Amino acid sequence: GAGVSQSPRYKVAKRGQDVALRCDPISGHVSLFWYQQALGQGPEFLTYFQNEAQLDKSGLPSDRFFAERPEGSVSTLKIQRTQQEDSAVYLCASSSRIGGNQPQHFGDGTRLSIL
């Protein structure tokens, strides 16, 4: 596809369950970003990958959050032992160049609801 693809679009999980969210960036894009967007708020940075290397994970809210990009393309954000405060839209973005001050192309997000 031409854009960033995220799946699933919607995910409902019970508190305590583990979830995995997938991001397919634009082919060939070096940089990949994950953001968390709470209802009515702006996106908040979670983590950044340059190819397969996770260079910045300072935004991950707790050690229950884990992200990987093992082959430098598809990325997965995993949340273990989900809590209600994890309910949000999780956005993935990719960029063809290194660094954030380049156009970032966002996916449409995964809306996660924790019951």
Partner 1 sequence: QQQVKQSPQSLIVQKGGIPIINCAYENTAFDYFPWYQQFPGKGPALLIAIRPDVSEKKEGRFTISFNKSAKQFSLHIMDSQPGDSATYFCAAILGYNFNKFYFGSGTKLNVKP
Q: Return residues touching partner 1 (CB under 8 A).
A: 4, 31, 33, 35, 40-45, 48, 55-56, 58-59, 91, 93, 99-101, 103-104, 106-109
Using H for helix, E for strand and C for coil, what is the string for 22-67? Answer: EEECCCCCCEEEEEEECCCCCCEEEEEEECCEEEECCCCCCCCEEE
* Nearest-approach distance from CB 82 to partner 1, in angstroms: 22
> Positive or negative, the Cα torsion across 56, 20, 69, 105?
negative
By C-beta, is 29 or 109 nearer to partner 1?
109
By C-beta, is 5 or 80 nearer to partner 1?
5
> Tokens in use for 38?
């709470």
By C-beta, is 16 or 99 nearer to partner 1?
99
